Amino acid sequence: MPSYELLIDGRMVKGDGTLEVVNPATEELAGTCSRASEAQLNRAVEAAQAAFPKWAATPIEERRAALEKIADIAMANAQELGQILTSEQGKPLKDAVSEAFGFGVFTKHFAAMDLPVEVLEDSDKRRVESHRMPLGVVGAIIPWNFPLVLVGFKLAPALLTGNTIVVKPAPTTPLSTLRLAELIKDVLPPGVLNVIADANDLGSAMTEHPGIRKISFTGSTATGSKVMAGAAATVKRITLEMGGNDAGLVLDDVDPKEIAPKLFDAAFGNNGQICIALKRLYAHEDIYDSLCDELASIAKAKKVGDGAQEGTELGPLQNKNQYEKVKAILADAADKGTIIAGGAAKDGPGYFIEPTIVRDIAEGARLVDEEQFGPALPVIKYSDADEALARINRCAEGLGGSVWSRDLDRAKSLAARLESGTVWINKHGELDPGIPFSGAKQSGFGTELGRAGLDEFTQRKVINIAG
């Protein structure tokens, strides 16, 4: 049985405890890893603090070269990392291997960026320069849906800008991150990168730690609000990418057969366990029945099973708590709507739920009002686009959304009024390392990716020189 250790101050070390990680497809043990105590968290932060001055003073060209090497190592070991990821997360192996490559892609993108000095004024009166300086130690809190690629969202910009980092993966998916740490540890000076694992008991200590200058968090809104509260006492910089109940607005001029596969993929990628997955679909009454039928047909044809088995298209839910939550949401949906595909848990071991399409449902049902984070999509009928948009915007979250139409001017007009950080037109959920990604309302604040995402890991310093 594989076992993995913590990375603290450049060395793989045993934890003060042990964590057992379950394979969600079999409910058997996927592996074990060291579990950090609060004392070990403190040692990781102290190591990062000690390494910070020298790393911050390292020329950016050398930091860039280190990130390039880290990306190459991850890509060269993508098959192994993918196998570990599938065993702990459940996603199909091809998707897990792609995620390991994705870590490399995002890392390389940030490695190619620069931190130029911006000259705000250069006159006889004065010269004013804006510099981007590192913050210090960054704490990165990673969720269980994309354990590897989301490390890339945080590690690469943090290190390029001269910070050091302590990474804490989710307790149900720490193995692939710890293995990645073991593979890349010798690329960096001791203490620049530290990776610990916990049993969901070190989050508060991390967010409140006086030695950490910034928290970069991806996860639920409920947990994100706790992170925000914990960071307040030391006025930490924070980036919060939290939950979303993303809506798609389908207008009356679309071809249901053409867009149904795109809508399905947007809703059911990673088994619906994506913060920006399509989670509510508002469809015009003129195409409603046809679109529901198309979506149901696709759902019934999908192969659900162990991600390690060839041909699997959708794996299990990642953990038992999420599995039970989705089952309860579906029970409510059966009372308040009509299930036309799926709707049931599979017999046998594993946290499997059939991909589910629910029609004749509206606000007031949990499947519409809550972020399900699972393989279920409510399809909601509407007759007036403005009224549908108002219903969509009543949601407290605003991470992403989409508008689907052949009339781009009409789609753009509605997209401008949809209250979310990103709105896609005739697609949903696309992320690119060069495009900034931000949440609106209770989906968080701050920015990841793009130049704005890089700046989140820096302190602006203005140097004002007399003429």
Q: Tell me where in the chain the CATH 3.40.605.10 domain(s) lie.
A: 3-242+443-466
The CA distances from residue 127 to 117, 131, 132, 269, 459, in Å, are: 12, 13, 17, 51, 20
pLDDT tier at 423 (50, 70, 90 boundaries)?
very high
- Residues in contact with 258: Cβ distance below 8 Å, sequence separation at least 6, in sequence order: none
Give the model confidence (pLDDT) of 60-74 as tens digits: 999 999 999 999 999
Which residues are CB-contacts of 409 (< 8 A; sequence separation ≥ 6)?
A: none
pLDDT digits over 292-316, tens only? 999 999 999 999 999 999 999 999 9
Amino acid at 262: K
Domain with CATH 3.40.309.10 in the chain: 247-432
Q: Which amino acid is at 6?
A: L
Of 4, 23, 1, the closest CA to residue 175 belongs to: 4
- CA gap 183, 450 in Å, rounded: 27
The per-residue pLDDT of the chain, averaged, comes to 98
Backbone angles phi, psi at 353, to 5 degrees: -130, 135
The pLDDT score that the predictor gives to residue 204 is 97
C-alpha to C-alpha distance for 152 and 409, rounded to whole angstroms: 36
Burial class (CB within 10 angstroms; exposed 0-12, middle 13-18, buried 19+) of 364: exposed
Secondary structure of residue 374 in the 3-state scheme: coil
Confirm if 332 and 367 have CB atoms less than 8 A apart. Answer: yes
The identity of residue 71, as a single letter, is A
Q: Is 247-432 assigned to CATH 3.40.309.10?
A: yes
The predicted pLDDT at position 183 comes to 98
Examine the residue annotation and report whether 292 is marked as an active-site residue of this protein.
no
Residue 33 catalytic?
no
Reported as a single tens digit per residue, the pLDDT across 328-342 is 999 999 999 999 999
Spatial distance between the Cα atoms of 306 and 454, rounded to a whole number of angstroms:
37
Mean pLDDT of 361-368: 98
Q: Which residue has the tokens 């969509």?
A: 392
309 is written with which tokens?
């088995």
- Asked if pLDDT for residue 1 goes beyond 90, the answer is no
Buried b (16+ CB within 10 A) or exposed e, 151-162: bbbbbbbbbbbb
The neighbouring-strand residues paired with 441 are 397
Number of Cβ atoms within 10 Å of the Cβ of 165: 28
Q: Is the pLDDT of residue 46 over 80?
A: yes
pLDDT given for residue 275 in this prediction: 96
| CATH number for the domain formed by residue range(s) 3-242+443-466 | 3.40.605.10
Q: Would you say residue 257 has pLDDT above 80?
A: yes
Active-site residue, selected from the candidate residues 5, 88, 99, 241: 241
Predicted local confidence at residue 37, as pLDDT? 98
Question: What pLDDT is stored for residue 234 in this prediction?
Answer: 97
Query: How many angstroms separate the Cα of 109 from the Cα of each of 64, 68, 103, 305?
Result: 10, 9, 10, 34
The upper half-sphere exposure of residue 199, i.e. CA atoms within 13 Å in the direction of its Cβ, equals 13
At residue 433, φ and ψ (nearest 5 deg) are: -60, -20
Q: Is the pLDDT of residue 246 over 80?
A: yes
- List, for residues 375-394, the tens digit of each pLDDT value: 999 999 999 999 999 999 99
Tokens representing residue 69 in the block:
């090497």
Output the six-digit token pair for 260.
């149904």
Core vs surface per residue 69-107: b (16+ CB within 10 A) or e:
bbbebbbebbeebbbbbbbbbbbbbebbbebbbbbbbbb
Residue 149, CA distances (Å) to 94, 103, 145, 264, 340 in order: 14, 4, 10, 22, 34
Q: Which of 33, 275, 292, 395 is catalytic?
A: 275
| Cβ contact 31:195 at 8 Å | no
Three-state secondary structure string covering 139-171: EEECCCCCCCHHHHHHHHHHHHCCCEEEEECCC
